[in-house]
Every structure is written in structure tokens, then in C-alpha cells.
Structure 1
Amino acid sequence: MNNRQMEIMNIISKESKINVNELARKFNVSQVTIRQDLRALDKQGMLKRVHGGAVAITDDRISNRMCLNYRVKKRIAREASKMVQDGETVMIESGSTAAILARELANKKEVTIVTNSLFIANHVKELNNINVILLGGILQKAAEVTVGPLIRSSLDNIYVDKFFIGVDGFTEETGFTSIDMMRAETVRCMAKRAKNVVVITDSTKFGVRGVTHLLDTEAVSTVITDSGIGKDYEEFLIEKNVKLIKV
């Protein structure tokens, strides 16, 4: 995604609808160029093309959540990608920042992604240098993820160095939390197969409490977030020997 497309995503996250003519004037490019941008973003599931422009996806799909705070999530994902080596196998759970990370790994050579996210698998399927191992289980259609006991057997003989996850909340009392119990259980199963668990999330999740426990603070090795994280949370994570990276 180029800088102009990133700015288009920023605009549509605020205005919900964008017009080809207005964008062409704003960026001082042709309407053909803008249509190409919108076509590319539509193909990635980032927006929906309509006559004369495009509209934001308004449901709770990952593609819609990717639009929110997109620039911040992009920086977080780019920083996380630096942890991945050419030829490495990593696990990535579902989430908007996780999906952006999966695309960032296109800059690596022969990376394998183990995931329970059908969305992520589709999001990178045309990238020749990324291989995907999709974990089987019960499909949550709205979230496009697999969950349930079959995940455990799917994980047999799979061990990775890094497992990247998003979260729905964090407080000092609860640790990392989620809004979905079955997905939380799946994350815990996947985390047991990784040497290092890396949380990738924007700072708005700190101070928010999800409905169910996800992981203890001590179970996470690294947190990558933006500079908006509160000082108290920053100090708490460091005290718990969690490596904190701010972008």
C-alpha cells in the first residue's frame, strides 16, 4: 500500500464515503489513478467501491476495523515485521493489526504463517513468498476464524518462536482480555506452541477490560504499541519484564 492509498484509508475512516473527483483534486493525480487505488483497496477488502467513489465497510469485519487508526496499526505492524526472519514460520491470530502484519511479511522471503484466521489466509493468498498453514476448527463466520477443540489437534507437531496476537483490552488487574471466550481459549492453545508471545495493539486498548481473560501479563514477552500508552501501564509492563516497543 502506497502513501496515497494510506491517506485514502485515513480519509474514509473519518468520512465513510469518498469521491473520485475530489480525491483526484486533493492528490493532484488523474481520476484513472484514483480508480486504480480504489480498485486495489477494494481487492484487499479495505473498502467497497461504488459508482463515483467508494464507501467504508460499516460492519464489524476485520476489514472495517483495519480502517480505524490505520496509520498507527501500520506502524505497529511494520515494527513487528522486523522481528521475523526470512524463511521463518510464525503464528498470527486474527485481528486488524495482525492482518496488516501478515501483508507486511510480503517483504520477507519464504515466510510461513500459521493462523486460525480465514481472513488473513485470504488476505495474503496472492503473495507468492508467503505460505499459509490454516488451522482447522469450528468456523466463526462473522469473525472468519476457527475455534474449538480441533485447534489442539491441528497444532500437533507445530512449534514456533513467535506468536503475534491482538487484544481487546488490558488492565493491571486482569492482564490481557478478549471479548470472545472461544477465541480466548484458542489463543491460549496457540500460545503454548510458541516460545515468545508478542502483543500488537494500539494504545486505546489499555485501560479497557474485555469480558473474558486472555493471557496473564507474564505470559507475554513483548508488547508493540503506539506512544499513546499511559505512563502507568508502561511502567507496569516493564516491571513485569515485558519488553515494550513504542512506535
Structure 2
Amino acid sequence: MVLARQRQAMILEEARRNGAVRVSDLVSRLGVSDMTIRRDLDVLAGRGLVEKVYGGATAVLGPSTEEPGFEAKSVRQRAQKEAIASRAAELVQPGTAIGLSAGTTTWTLARALDGVPGLTIVSNSIQVADVLRASSAPDRTVVLTGGVRTPSDALVGPVAVHSLRRLHLDQVFLGVHGMAEGAGFTTPNLTESETDRALVESGRRLVVLADSSKWGVVGISTIAELDEAHVVVTDDGLGEAARTVLAEHVGELEVAPVNDDTEEE
């Protein structure tokens, strides 16, 4: 039995690969009823990932430079981000120096680090810094880069890049706009891409945090190639084809279970 979340990920992956999907084809392929597929399409359309048309749906990819604000992104895929953050927090060792990029998934991770003592945390995110400032974790040092603020509340530009290129971090946790074979890990903001690359280069180990809806999404600029990631942490809604591609390229693929779903038929 395939969970509704996993089935929807398969449908979305198919829509992004071919540009559109037909209900009749999905019924045959997934072995569920016409009504179940239509409910799945309703869910995906409600998230703005597909547009329903007669007999099926078309993919909604958006311009490669489209950049939603922090507040808009913070309400998307909440359960998935919580699961990813919980798993990623297990990778953080006490007393280490880590980097957190800007983004709602890394912001969620910041909230999950209260139990890890002695950390030095570097970030170019105003939102992440606010979470860390309010934390009760002992012996913590927080470093916020300077820079120019973007719609996603990231600090970017030459000041941020200069700061990051002088640092040496144990691990970098990178949130991304999209991930795809060929394009790698991408962002819709050119300036943010340069800053993120400097953050990646400052770390000995790269951990990418990306929920399953990010697969097949391509922003205008590549931050890193797939094979540059030592670990990718995603959720169990990621389709099997995407898992196969990632497993072939990244050092380790961590799939976090999301326990907020039930099967519908």
C-alpha cells in the first residue's frame, strides 16, 4: 500500500517530468480509483504545485527567478520540514562549528538544536539568528554575517561572502529552492547563490535539507552539484525515481518519516 503523501509525490514527479498527467493513466499506473487520484490532484493544486485541467493536471513550475518571501514559504510542507529538521539535528555533534543557510527548513533545524551544547553557529539568516538568540542552549556562540537583505530574509552580497570565506566549519546545513538531476541544488536568487556557495566552501561536510516537493524544481542559479553533498536529508514523500537518482550521486541519502498521513484506499 502506498501512502497518500508518497502517491502524490509520484504524481508530482510525473507531472514535472512530462509537463502534465492524465487521471486515466494514473489510475492504471498506481492501482487506485479515479476518485482517489482526483483527491490527490486537489491536494497538489491546493499547494500550488499543479493546475487542474480537464482529465488531469499540468505542472506549475514557475519562473526560474521566482522567489517567495519567508512568510509564504514557512507555511508550506510544515510536517515534512519538522521531520527533516529532527533527523538533521541528530547529525550535529556537541562542541562543533556549523553553518546554517537561510531558509525555512534551516530555520526549523535551528529550533531543533536546543539540546546540543557548546555549538558555534554561523548563519546569513536573520530569522535563524532570531531563533538562536532566544534559545536556552548553554555555551552557544552565534555569528551572523552582514550583507544585504533578500525577500527570504537572507543576508547576501560581498560583505557576507567575505565573512564566510574566512571561516572553517565542521558542517554546513544548506536549504535549497530546488534540486534536480543535471541542475543540482539551485536558488532563484543570483546574489544569494554566490553567498551560499561561499558558505558551502567554508565547511568540511555539506548536508542538504530539502523536502520532497523540491525535487524537479530548478532555480536560475546552481549552488552545488548533487555529488557535492555528503548527505541529503529529505522526507518519505520523495518518489522512488528521485531516490534512485540521489542515491547514485550523493554520499548518503537520509529519508525522514512523516507521521501525519493516513492511507485513503
Q: Please say if 1:73 is aligned against 2:65.
A: no
Structure 1: which 5+ residue stretches go unaligned? 1-13, 15-58
- Give distance in 1, aligned partners of 2:123 and 2:250: 27
Partner of 1:117: 125
Instruction: Indicate the SS of the match to 1:106.
Output: coil
Q: Match for 1:176: what amino acid?
A: F
Q: Match for 2:104: what amino acid?
A: S
CA shift at 1:138, angstroms?
2.2
- Give distance in 1, aligned partners of 2:72 and 2:112: 18
Contact 1:105 1:111 in 2 (8 A): no
CA shift at 1:172, angstroms?
0.9
CA shift at 1:176, angstroms?
1.2
Q: Please list the CA deviations of residues 224-243 of structure 1 after superposition, one character each: whole Å capped at 9, or x if unmatched.
A: 00111122221122212431
- Give distance in 1, aligned partners of 2:135 and 2:200: 26
- Give distance in 2, aligned partners of 1:70 and 1:241: 25
Cα 1:235–1:80 change in 2 (3 A) is: same
Contact 2:101 2:175 in 1 (8 A): yes
**TM-score, normalising length: structure 2:** 0.67
Contact 2:165 2:198 in 1 (8 A): no
Partner of 1:4: none
Root-mean-square deviation (CA), in Å? Answer: 1.8
Instruction: Indicate the SS of the match to 2:135.
Output: coil
- Give distance in 2, aligned partners of 1:164 and 1:200: 7
Q: Which has the higher contact order (CA 8 A, sep 6+)?
A: 2
Instruction: Indicate the SS of the match to 2:205.
Output: strand
Partner of 1:224: 233
Partner of 1:49: none
Instruction: Indicate the SS of the match to 1:186.
Output: helix
Q: Please say if 1:180 is aligned against 2:189.
A: yes
Residue correspondence of structure 1 range 30-69 to structure 2 within 5 A: 60-69=68-77
Partner of 2:27: none
Instruction: Indicate the SS of the match to 1:246.
Output: strand
Contact 1:118 1:145 in 2 (8 A): yes
- Give distance in 2, aligned partners of 1:216 and 1:68: 25
In the alignment of these two chains, the number of paired residues is 189
Q: Percent identity?
A: 30
Q: Please say if 1:155 is aligned against 2:155.
A: no
Contact 2:147 2:156 in 1 (8 A): yes
Instruction: Indicate the SS of the match to 1:65.
Output: helix
**TM-score, normalising length: structure 1:** 0.72
Instruction: Indicate the SS of the match to 2:114.
Output: helix
